[in-house]
Structure 1
């Protein structure tokens, strides 16, 4: 079969058909742009909600807040939505807004290079397809390259062993002995789900997590009918002052490791642990030795109940090796297991990589991202004209609701590209001076955040600097409200 070719340069090429890629596709149609494609490496859209299918998968942002502002969903089953329902929501939104024909599935980007003479990006896929586009939007996401632990003997395990984002449907977990390695949101949710299904669950925790109590409840059919009839009821939930006061409290608190908000969060988490876990030995195992929110805070309404079920054991010792029949600890303890699930997270600094991206003067993105991934105000890169990122480096991933972040970033991008769409310029990029000033200020602020308070986490870049947005929610909203003209240069 002949390779697909695009005969004429596109206006836009979007990389990734997850949440932010779908957003970009819909927004482009809203601008009247039809000359674009979305390249998706998998055979189905959905991003993280396609890759992750593990038992208990639930978003930790309330369902009505984790929705596009232009596609409210009256059908959410609960206050926090399951991964399966979120995936279905994104597929429906893409279909409803007519962007499915613009998506090219099984099209992983291999190379993306800027042609300075023509002011065009040349993009090739691993399958050999070629495209040219004036503008590229990298919507590849953050948490999509699974991180596997370096544990001796993993390859010798006789049962099923796999990463949580590569769920093995042939693995039998009901009535089985299951080990869950990892204590982030995924590990917590897995233990919750398996605690009532498996014969035995061993939760291997290198370090326990602080858990923030949250409510979970189902929406009734009557409530859903009311949402359908009156969308303002959904807006009222999205604009709930209590929810947003918590967002502001948290995001203001993380900017200062010694803030009163952080102390309040610590007290809430500590009290929740002490109230729910009465056994002093188990409570000691579940008590972190670092301040709350230093790692990504866990939101759960049931973990402390589930972890106290008779079928669940918490193991905080070091793993020596994995043997054919289970896990051997450094103290000699042996846990016989049938299944091992690696809830060990992702390589959060990959973004668009392993695709090779080359900007002006032949400079590679890998070179620009040494020693750390970075982007000007989390969206643009000097030396890479007409290249924009959604939920890219230094975005407030883990700080605020991701859809809200992406929508605000899109509004920022739309303003930047308006002169290009009007034919007034051929390219735009931030100045190196503006980006250097931003990054200097960001690093200085990041060191003072709770993420820099001394614990290890996926927030930290290779030099130990927190890689996320270090200021509060309002600062991000203000920054995305309008680009600063002096920070950008347009080419004719």
Structure 2
């Protein structure tokens, strides 16, 4: 008789919503989604800074089963993306599974069950635990002396304070020049703020222009679904065969990407001195390539100032740089990224025999294949290490992983096992395969980036999107260890 498992999903962002739909459609009724905040949305709920947008073409950035011909821009804006996920959540009646304002603080595995404690000090037991906590959700704050002494307003881009005046004449300092900063800086500059940009490392920018999509085009795409499908498929083809292949070492695409970024810098920045300051000294793609056409024009305006001297410390009046200059500011914005290796942490998580996740990952963060951990049975980590794939849509990644998870849960439902986890040798073999592939990629091109783990290895997938989809199409049961409730090991077929 087919069993009905109890499944816990942590996080009601893009992946958590997807999992709830997949689980429900498979006939599973005991689903609980824990969400630490009071609404859904994940990164699109957290990030509300000026100019926030997706750098993946909007018609590609949807669930495959829920296309959206009504995007207003080629690169969708944050608020509209959040509206899309809210619409999907309501259409598929996902809210009934979500426990809002309740985060998971502790998860402990014992006796083929996961025992959870939440922020409300409530206790639950589940057959499966799935972390849909995302990749970039813990803001990283810089270790700069005097950070807490500033008399003005200071906040991280992921915690944007909209009550603070950043308009005309306000002296705003932005620390960092990554993707977020490249979107926010033009908004501040064009709004009249006096913006000082503190750059540690310049970035390569790819000039893919955004454009608005008018009502007439939206009506056409709604009426003729083939046109919308073509737009989506073309975007997927371009990202897979041009962008992703460029950063994973395919020579033709790599040359084209390098040429596009270098010629963009040369043609966009007229001042030779400024152009030299903005020119990276590392390979194109080593850091995430920023898709942007607004930063270069903005940084050349009179109310924008690029500062490349290192920061000595923060004072009560502003930022003191190492050349002895005090840059007086009213507001400091920290565009200093996230902690990409936290995943489900700081949740207090222990697996078999009391093994804590911090102990399991004390040397390096590894999973098979990016999802399963030895000694943490019946646990799946969505978008885990080596999942990010060259500027590709994370929705597509989550869909592939969700199908993989559902195949394993279906085997549990059919009484093929009670516990499942990867064999240690399979984890090592998978990570050796990834490490070998990384040698030819742009990510080892001589830069420091959030891609790198403490050993200096990128936590990315170094092969093509098609290869990843092929490998994830069906679980290799020989790499997985299953057990019955009697803990007698069964060799999977």
SS of 2:148 mapped into structure 1: helix
Aligned match for 1:249, one of 234, 242, 245? 242
The 5 Å alignment of 1:5-404 reads: 11-116=6-111, 119-175=112-168, 176-240=170-234, 244-256=237-249, 259-404=251-396
Residues 229-281 of structure 1 show CA distances to partners (whole Å, capped at 9, x for unaligned) of 233322111101x652443233233233x834323211110001111111101
Q: Distance in 1 between matches of 2:213 and 2:204?
A: 28
Residues 271-330 of structure 1 show CA distances to partners (whole Å, capped at 9, x for unaligned) of 011111111011111111111110111000221112112211111110111122221111
Note if 1:456 corresponds to 2:451: no
SS of 2:58 mapped into structure 1: coil
CA contact (8 A) 2:183 2:294 kept: no
Q: Distance in 1 between matches of 2:72 and 2:242?
A: 28
Q: Distance in 1 between matches of 2:162 and 2:297?
A: 27
CA contact (8 A) 1:447 1:465 kept: no
Q: Distance in 1 between matches of 2:332 and 2:141?
A: 12
Structure-2-length-normalised TM-score: 0.94
Structure 2 unpaired stretches of 5+: 485-493
Q: Distance in 1 between matches of 2:120 and 2:435?
A: 39
- Structure 1 runs (4+) greater than 3 angstroms displaced: none
**Equivalent residue number for residue 424 of structure 2:** 432
Measured after TM superposition, the shift of residue 440 of structure 1 is 1.8
Q: Distance in 1 between matches of 2:75 and 2:402?
A: 25
Q: Distance in 2 between matches of 1:249 and 1:230?
A: 27
CA contact (8 A) 2:368 2:422 kept: yes
Residues 164-192 of structure 1 show CA distances to partners (whole Å, capped at 9, x for unaligned) of 00111221001111111111101111111
SS of 1:388 mapped into structure 2: strand
CA contact (8 A) 1:180 1:190 kept: no
Q: Distance in 2 between matches of 1:244 and 1:203?
A: 35
SS of 2:125 mapped into structure 1: strand
Q: Distance in 1 between matches of 2:448 and 2:252?
A: 22
Measured after TM superposition, the shift of residue 81 of structure 1 is 0.7
CA contact (8 A) 1:446 1:466 kept: yes
Aligned match for 1:442, one of 434, 439, 442? 434
Measured after TM superposition, the shift of residue 491 of structure 1 is 2.1
CA contact (8 A) 1:192 1:302 kept: yes
**Mean Cα displacement is larger for which, 435-444 or 39-48?**
435-444
SS of 1:155 mapped into structure 2: coil
**Equivalent residue number for residue 410 of structure 1:** 402
Q: Distance in 2 between matches of 1:446 and 1:373?
A: 16
**Equivalent residue number for residue 475 of structure 1:** 467
Q: Distance in 1 between matches of 2:439 and 2:148?
A: 39
Distance 1:20 1:453, change over 3 A: same
CA contact (8 A) 1:26 1:97 kept: yes
Q: Distance in 2 between matches of 1:455 and 1:447?
A: 14
**Equivalent residue number for residue 6 of structure 1:** none
CA contact (8 A) 2:340 2:450 kept: yes
**Equivalent residue number for residue 488 of structure 2:** none
Q: Distance in 1 between matches of 2:195 and 2:390?
A: 28
Measured after TM superposition, the shift of residue 461 of structure 1 is 0.3
Residues 186-222 of structure 1 show CA distances to partners (whole Å, capped at 9, x for unaligned) of 1111111111113311111101100011021111111
Q: Distance in 2 between matches of 1:201 and 1:415?
A: 51
Measured after TM superposition, the shift of residue 331 of structure 1 is 0.5
Q: Distance in 1 between matches of 2:473 and 2:141?
A: 39
Structure 1 unpaired stretches of 5+: 1-8
CA contact (8 A) 1:447 1:466 kept: no
Q: Distance in 1 between matches of 2:103 and 2:30?
A: 20
Q: Distance in 2 between matches of 1:166 and 1:461?
A: 25
Measured after TM superposition, the shift of residue 155 of structure 1 is 1.1
Q: CA RMSD in A?
A: 1.6
**Equivalent residue number for residue 491 of structure 2:** none
Residues 361-389 of structure 1 show CA distances to partners (whole Å, capped at 9, x for unaligned) of 22121122121221101111122111112
Q: Distance in 2 between matches of 1:243 and 1:10?
A: 35
CA contact (8 A) 2:247 2:390 kept: no
